[in-house]
């Protein structure tokens, strides 16, 4: 059990039977009344975020999350297959389990999958991933009056806005946080 005064950002705890990650917390000691702690929690099963207030005498059970580095192998009709590179064990995850992260997957990429008691909680992508541009329109000369970008389709089907100088077969880096073009590779 963890005392509420020993919590840290990023720690995983069990609150009301749900596995939650502490996003941020604030210890408040008002002029009148007892001290309390306001915690912003992210439910790791549902992805929802809530803010809760607790007394300072509360204790939490620490959730032991296992993070395993796995390689994405292939997609098969809304099923995504990953392989543990140490044990060569393969798992298959549904599109619903991955959330919006499925858009950034490409064959051979290494991701971190979180498990709690054998159940998959989700995956963590690298911050930036390299992709090859498979289709984009040629730049139109003089088309720089406004934001000078164009659409580019990547090797995994993702479409992002890129600068006009990017051509087909160029390798670019895309941020997985916001899905935007970052730079050339």
Nearest to 7 by CA among 28, 35, 37, 29: 37
Which residues of the chain carry a pLDDT beneath 70? 140-147
How far apart, in whole angstroms, are the C-alpha atoms of residue 156 and residue 107?
9
Domain 66-124 shares a fold with domain 128-184: yes
Selected from 1.10.8.60, 2.40.50.140, 3.40.50.300, 3.40.640.10, the CATH number assigned to the domain covering 66-124 reads 2.40.50.140
User: In this structure, what DSSP letter does residue 7 have?
Assistant: -
Domain boundaries, the chain: 2-62, 66-124, 128-184
Contact assessment for residue 134 and residue 168, using Cβ atoms and an 8 Å cutoff: yes
Q: Where are the beta strands (DSSP E) in the chain?
A: 2-3, 12-15, 18-28, 36-43, 49-55, 59-62, 66-75, 79-84, 90-94, 110-116, 119-124, 128-136, 149-154, 159-163, 171-175, 181-184
**Stated pTM of the model:** 0.74
In this prediction, residue 70 carries a pLDDT of: 92
Q: Are the beta carbons of 184 and 173 closer than 8 angstroms?
A: yes
Q: Does domain 128-184 have CATH number 2.40.50.140?
A: yes
Rounded CA separation 75/78 (Å): 7
The pLDDT score that the predictor gives to residue 117 is 86
The correct CATH number of 2-62 out of 3.30.465.10, 3.40.1280.10, 3.40.50.12370, 2.30.30.30 is 2.30.30.30
């Amino acid at each position: 059990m963890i005392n509420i005064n020993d919590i840290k950002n990023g720690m995983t705890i069990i609150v009301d039977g749900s596995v939650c990650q502490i996003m941020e917390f604030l210890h408040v000691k008002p002029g009148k009344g007892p001290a309390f702690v306001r915690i912003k929690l992210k439910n790791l099963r549902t992805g929802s975020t809530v803010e809760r207030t607790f007394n300072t005498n509360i204790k939490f059970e620490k959730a032991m999350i296992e993070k395993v580095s796995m390689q994405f192998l292939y997609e098969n009709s809304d099923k995504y297959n990953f392989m543990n590179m140490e044990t060569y064990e393969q798992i298959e995850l549904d599109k619903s389990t991955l959330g919006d992260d499925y858009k950034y997957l490409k064959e051979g990429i290494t991701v971190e999958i979180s498990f709690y008691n054998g159940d998959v909680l989700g995956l963590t992508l690298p911050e930036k991933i390299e992709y090859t541009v498979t289709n984009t329109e040629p730049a139109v000369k003089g088309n720089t009056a406004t934001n000078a970008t164009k659409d580019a389709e990547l090797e995994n089907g993702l479409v992002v806005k890129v600068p006009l100088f990017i051509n087909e077969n160029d390798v670019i880096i895309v941020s997985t946080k916001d899905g935007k073009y970052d730079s050339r590779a």
